[in-house]
Chains A and B, each alone.
Chain A
Amino acid sequence: NAGVTQTPKFQVLKTGQSMTLQCAQDMNHNSMYWYRQDPGMGLRLIYYSASEGTTDKGEVPNGYNVSRLNKREFSLRLESAAPSQTSVYFCASSRGQGGDQPQHFGDGTRLSIL
């Protein structure tokens, strides 16, 4: 019973490098989300996908791109990593498209940009 799976778990990048964080859910959920969590800042929404084929910006989208590859998968790409993007990244999914559905989280990707 995997739930939400994120890869990789840890990554160290140099400034300017690119990478893609992968996320997949096996709960047949419609909506998926990417958050970053920094000390004292709580969870901040980067991008979300209300349903397959749609994506929208969240609170802090600059420097990121996303792809909803299919209903199961939602990837987050850093085109040119910056030290300010050092953070813990969480992917989440929820059953419905409205804000009334609880979200289920993957176990996170710890990303360091040097």
Chain B
Amino acid sequence: RKEVEQDPGPFNVPEGATVAFNCTYSNSASQSFFWYRQDCRKEPKLLMSVYSSGNEDGRFTAQLNRASQYISLLIRDSKLSDSATYLCAVGLRSSASKIIFGSGTRLSIRP
């Protein structure tokens, strides 16, 4: 089993829809969680950190479920510009600087 797993998609949704995807992690000691966005042929860019209490940034909401060992990303009122690959990343504070990335979920927003 991979340490961090994501559904590769693609998720193909109409503009204005709400879409959510999950990312599961295998190490119960994981303590830091992030969502990155990667556009085609570009570098990953930090979208948001995921806190225990959940957090929201505009149309984006991230949640952490420690009991079931997954994080989620919800995008409301999706825009064409949200089309990208979304990578989750999971880290251990005790490890020497390593964060494990998922392979990404591809999202395509259609007009």
A and B: bona fide binding partners: yes
Is B1 on the interface with A (CB-CB < 8 A)?
Answer: no
- A-side contacts of B34, CB under 8 Å: 102
By the criterion CB–CB under 8 Å, are A94 and B87 in contact? no
Q: How far is the CA of A90 from the CA of B101 in the complex (A)?
A: 13
Is A97's CB under 8 angstroms from B97's CB?
Answer: yes
Main SS of the interface on chain A?
Answer: loop
The tally of residues in A whose CB lies under 8 Å from a CB in B reads 26
Closest to A91 in B: B43
Task: Give chain B nearest CB distance to A41 CB in angstroms.
Answer: 7
Interface residues in chain B, defined as those with a beta carbon under 8 Å from any beta carbon in chain A: 8, 31-32, 34, 42-46, 49, 87, 89, 91-99, 101-104
A interface, CB within 8 angstroms of B: 31, 33, 40-43, 45, 48, 50, 56, 58, 90, 94, 96-108
